[in-house]
Chain A
Amino acid sequence: MLDSSNQKYIERYKDITPDWQGFLDSLFEPLPPVIWANTFKVTPEQLLESLSILDSQWSMIPWDSRGIKLDSSLRPGKFLEYPMGLFNIQEEVSALPAKVLDPKKDDLVLDICAAPGSKTVQMAMMMENRGTIVANDIKAQRIKLVRMSLARLGIMNVSTSVRSGAQLGPVDTLFDKVLVDVPCSCEGTSRKSSNVFRNPQKPFLSYRGGLQLAILRRAVSLCRLGGRIVYSTCTYRPEENEWVVDKILKDNNLKILNFKVDGLIIDPGVESWGGETFSKEVRKSGRIWPHRNNTGGFFVALFEKI
């Protein structure tokens, strides 16, 4: 729950949040677990039949046919189908960036901050386990987590690397698609870890998205002309979201694209924050508030390199 100091901190979002009370009420509500069928091994229908759970205990994710939302009482890691590699566990909204990037099996794809790997796995499935994903992370221990998921699910179209995202490359062949899901202050995960607001992560509070901008700039340099880049965070802070988008647009080698996902309520990016006015184009980015879709919080922006 929020104490008085964090309540004061949270108030900073009051003017940019639709249905403020609904937002406050949602912040610490438990998230329903979501599983995603491993379509190399089963269809979602076959998976449901195998799980033998009551009809009242599941529903399909409206915007992705692989996703199944489960009753909060269920523990999907305990199902036999989990070590069998028939599904992956991934919070619903964290599947949005890869959905928006939409990698195809002929694409050369980079996941520049890949760990723990659920988005890498998701993209591999979208690419039908073909073609090439390079999954990178700065920490070797965290890339180990990516490799464990890939092994359990039988995903073969991924090579891994351990580098700072801000210093990756250069490469001889530029990527068609780049996912830039940067480290952030994780405020949107409060429904999973209630300590997020109790202990705001000071490094991210102090430098206003500098590291995130550096990683995004590096990603742009590794992307081909006409290629696509998705920038995403799981925080509400405009300093790590719209501020970064505004700055990268001023580099004049990207255009930001509109996107929509049927079945998901996505609010536009904010146009100003902390006395700073951003480019109107920033409104094309998307905010996912936890109370609007019964999910965690996220921010996504889709770009094309020009």
Chain B
Amino acid sequence: MKQIETKKYLEVLSDRYGIPIESFDSFKVYQPNSRYISFCPKDHNPPDGIPLESTGVYLMKTRISHPKLTTTAVQILGKYAQKNIVHLKKEQVEAYFLRKPVEISIEQMVNVKGNGYVIAKYMNHSIGIAVVDQEFGKVYLKSLFPKNWT
């Protein structure tokens, strides 16, 4: 797997979520294909001689206009996030996992700095990514939870 220069991707995460770049000190970042970058522990060293199909987990989807953290990466790195976080209530989490739009209150928006991706949290666990949307004076989260995880 080709290890890559990570700075530009880590800066995206730092700018959007306040995730300190030092959070990545214990990881290696790879480019397995043109659509994603992935990451794994720094001490992960598979031997040569076995052709590998994957290493670690996907970190970000990159071949889109706004690179997006994967749900797996959110669940690993979300604890370091400082901003663009929405804390959900139980009934909202159920809708979020079913990929239904979730109406959220002004109070839940207090840590959201503008439109775009936010990290959804429940009971102090980072559970995934969503997009903030507004319609008819109401604010919604559009769930980006993976279809095949439920």
Contact = CB atoms under 8 A, between A and B. Distances in A.
A152 B44 contact: no
**Interface residue SS majority, chain B:** mixed
A156 B40 contact: yes
Interface residues of A, number: 41
B149 interface: yes
A129 interface: yes
Contact of A161 (B40, B53, B90, B97): B53
A117 B41 CA distance: 19
B59 to A, nearest CB: 10
A131 B122 CA distance: 30
Contacts of B58: 151
A159 B45 CA distance: 9
B57 interface: yes
A171 interface: yes
A41 B54 contact: no
B106 interface: no
**Interface residue SS majority, chain A:** loop
Interface in A143-166: 143, 147-148, 150-152, 154-163
Nearest to B90: A80
Contact of A154 (B55, B72, B93, B150): B72
Contact of A84 (B48, B54, B125): B125
Contacts of A151: 57-58, 70-72, 146, 149
Q: Which of B48, B53, B57 has the most chain A CB atoms closer than 10 A to its own CB?
A: B53
Given A41-B125, A83-B145, A84-B122, A134 B57 contact: no
Given A143-B53, A161-B50, A161-B51, A83 B41 contact: no
A156 B57 contact: yes
A62 interface: no
Interface of A: 41, 50, 80, 82-86, 105, 108, 129-132, 134, 136, 140, 143, 147-148, 150-152, 154-163, 168-175
Interface of B: 27, 39-41, 43-58, 70-72, 75-76, 90, 93-94, 97, 122-123, 125, 127, 145-146, 148-150
